[in-house]
Amino acid sequence: MELAKERGLDLIEVAPNARPPVCRIGDWGRIKFERQKNETEARRKQRETRTQVKEIKVRPKTDGHDLDFKTKKVRQFLTDGDKVKITVRFRGREHAHHDLGAEQCYAVYEEVKDICKVEAPPRMDGRQMFMLLAPN
Domain ranges for the chain, please list them: 2-48, 51-135
In the chain, the N- to C-terminal Cα span, in Å, equals 59
Alpha-carbon span 108 to 66, nearest angstrom? 11
* Strands annotated E in the chain: 10-15, 22-26, 53-58, 83-89, 116-125, 128-135
Residue-wise pLDDT for 60-116, tens only, equals: 998 989 999 999 999 999 998 899 999 999 999 988 989 999 999 999 999 999 999
What CATH code would you report for 51-135? 3.30.110.10
Sorting pLDDT into bands at 50, 70 and 90, what band is 134?
A: very high
Whole-model pTM: value is 0.63
Where residue 75 falls (left for φ over 0; alpha for ψ -120 to 50; beta otherwise) is: alpha
The yes/no answer on whether domain 2-48 falls in CATH 3.10.20.80 is: yes
